[in-house]
Amino acid sequence: MDLLGTATGMLGKVFGAQDDLAPVPIYRITKDGKDITGAFTGRLISLTLEENRGFTADQLDIELDDSDGALELPSRGAKLAVAFGWQHEGLVDKGKFVVDEITHEGPPDRLIIRARSADLRSGLTTKRETSYHNVSLLDLVNLIAQRHNLGAMIASALANQLLSHIDQTGESDASFLTRVSKMFDAIATVKADKLLFTKIGQSLTASGKPLRPMTITRQSGDRHHFSVVDRESFDSVVAYYQDTRAAKKGQVVVTAVTEKSTSTSTNTSGNKSQKGKRKKPEAPVVEPTGNTKELRHTYASKTNAMRAARSEWQRIQRGVASFSMTLARGDAGLFPEVPVTIRGIKPQIDSTDWILAKTRHTLDAHGGFTTQIELEIKATEVPDEAADP
pLDDT, tens digit (0-9, with 9 covering 90-100), for 293-310: 888 778 777 877 887 788
Q: What amino acid is encoded at 87 in this protein?
A: Q
**For the range 15-18, what are the long-range contacts, defined as Cβ-Cβ under 8 Å and sequence gap of 24 or more?**
15/44, 15/363, 15/364, 15/365, 15/366, 15/367, 16/365, 16/366, 16/367, 18/367
> Mapping DSSP to helix (H, G, I), strand (E, B) and coil, where does residue 295 land?
strand
Q: For all residues of the chain together, what is the average pLDDT?
A: 79
**Looking at 119, 154, 169, which one is the last position of a domain?**
119
pLDDT-derived band at 278, boundaries 50, 70, 90: very low
Domain-located, residue 253: no
pLDDT digits (tens, 9 = 90+) for 60-114: 999 999 999 888 888 888 889 999 999 999 999 998 899 989 999 989 999 999 9
Phi–psi pair at 10, nearest 5 degrees:
-135, 160
Give 3-state DSSP helix, strand, coil % of the chain, rounded to 5.
20, 40, 40
Domain-located, residue 54: yes
Report which secondary-structure segment, H or E, holds 229: none
Q: Are residues 111 and 165 both part of a single domain?
A: no
Number of domains forming the structure of the chain: 2
Task: Find out whether 334 and 214 touch, Cβ atoms under 8 Å.
Answer: yes
Q: Are residues 132 and 112 both part of a single domain?
A: no
CB atoms within 10 A of CB 293: 17
- Domain with 72, as residue range(s), is 25-119
Domain-located, residue 355: no
pLDDT of residue 141: 95
Q: What is the DSSP string of 64-125?
A: EE-TTS-PPPPPTT-EEEEEEEETTTEEEEEEEEEEEEEEEETTTTEEEEEEEEGGGSSGGG
* 328 closest CA partner among 226, 217, 227: 217
Q: Are residues 53 and 138 both part of a single domain?
A: no
Q: Are residues 103 and 179 both part of a single domain?
A: no
**Looking at 168, 199, 230, which one is the last position of a domain?**
199
Q: Say what the pTM is.
A: 0.73
Residue 236 has pLDDT above 90, yes or no: no
Residue 261 has pLDDT above 60, yes or no: no
Give the span between the Cα atoms of 108 and 68, in whole angstroms: 9
Q: State CA 13 to chain mean position distance.
A: 30
Q: What is the CATH number of the domain that holds 40?
A: 2.30.300.10
Give the span between the Cα atoms of 58 and 8, in whole angstroms: 26
Q: Are residues 112 and 139 both part of a single domain?
A: no
* 77 closest CA partner among 55, 99, 105: 99
Q: Are residues 87 and 35 both part of a single domain?
A: yes
Characterize the bridge pairing of strands 292-299 and 13-14. Answer: unpaired
Give the span between the Cα atoms of 375 and 162, in whole angstroms: 31
Number of residues that this document lists for the chain = 389
